[in-house]
Amino acid sequence: MNKYYDPKYVEKLFDKMSSSYSRMNYITSFGFSERWRKQCVNEIDLSNSKVIVDLLTGMGECWKFIDRKAHKDAKIIGIDFSEEMIKKAEKNTSKLKKREIDVRRENVFTNSLADNSIDSVISGFGLKTFDTNQLTELAKEINRMLKVNGNFSLIDVSVPKNQLLRALYLFYLKHIIPILGKLFLGDATAYKMLGKYTTEFQNAENVKQLFENQNFNVEYVSYFYGCASGIKGMKI
């Protein structure tokens, strides 16, 4: 395995970025990160979901959008393996005092969720940190935890196919983002990795195929000319 996809490496990377990640994610997506999270959640019906899992939850940035869509009695389970991200997520539960939120520091591949126990799965901006083998395992894990007819929506930043937009975006990722990382975090290396992950990831087309291999009903979704992409679907 390439060391950049080793869970311990990724965990340390996000621990390091936790103090500035929300701000930087907004900047790196040209301010679209919040809109894309909202669109990702809105892709699927949560009205009848009793238990909703937010995988790779970070600081719980998707929760407010889930809260608006889900039944008032639905439970949100947020899972992430970054200790620093989870600490911030736990603090953010106070912003949704009427919603039951269970925050767990767990690896997505060795989590404590029971088989066929989850109604819906959401994940925002974590796919790019997995290689193909890990994405295959992610598909298997979501299949394991979801109930039959359970649904999911996953999204991440992507490299646009339009040549001009692609050139501008890659320049921004590879050259501007590290400078901003140096400014906000005092370290250009950590945020340089976000560009590397995005370049390797390209888009969610490969993810769609991997999920189809697990017998999901899957649809590819493109956001803002391919600057983000994802998949949505259902366990059949």
Model confidence over 182-218: pLDDT tens digits?
776 666 777 788 888 999 999 999 999 999 999 899 9
Helices (H), 29-176: 33-42, 63-69, 83-92, 132-145, 163-171
Both tokens assigned to 138: 């992610």
Residue 118 DSSP SS3 = strand
Rounded-to-integer distance, Cα 34 and Cα 20, Å: 16
Per-residue model confidence (pLDDT) at position 28: 65
- Cβ atoms of 198 and 125 within 8 Å: the answer is no
**Which domains does the chain carry?**
3-235 (3.40.50.150)
Contact at 8 Å (CB) between 121 and 152? yes
Dihedral angle sign, alpha carbons of residues 136, 138, 144, 148: negative
**Phi (first) and psi of residue 100, to 5 degrees:** -75, 120
Q: Which of 211, 224, 112 is nearest to 159 (CA)?
A: 224
Looking at every residue in the chain, the average pLDDT score rounds to: 93
The pLDDT tens digits for 4-28 are 999 999 999 999 888 777 777 777 6
Q: What pTM was estimated for this model as a whole? A: 0.94
Instruction: Dump pLDDT digits (tens) for 101-149.
Output: 999 999 999 999 999 999 999 999 999 999 999 999 999 999 999 999 9
Phi, psi of 155 (to 5 degrees): -145, 155
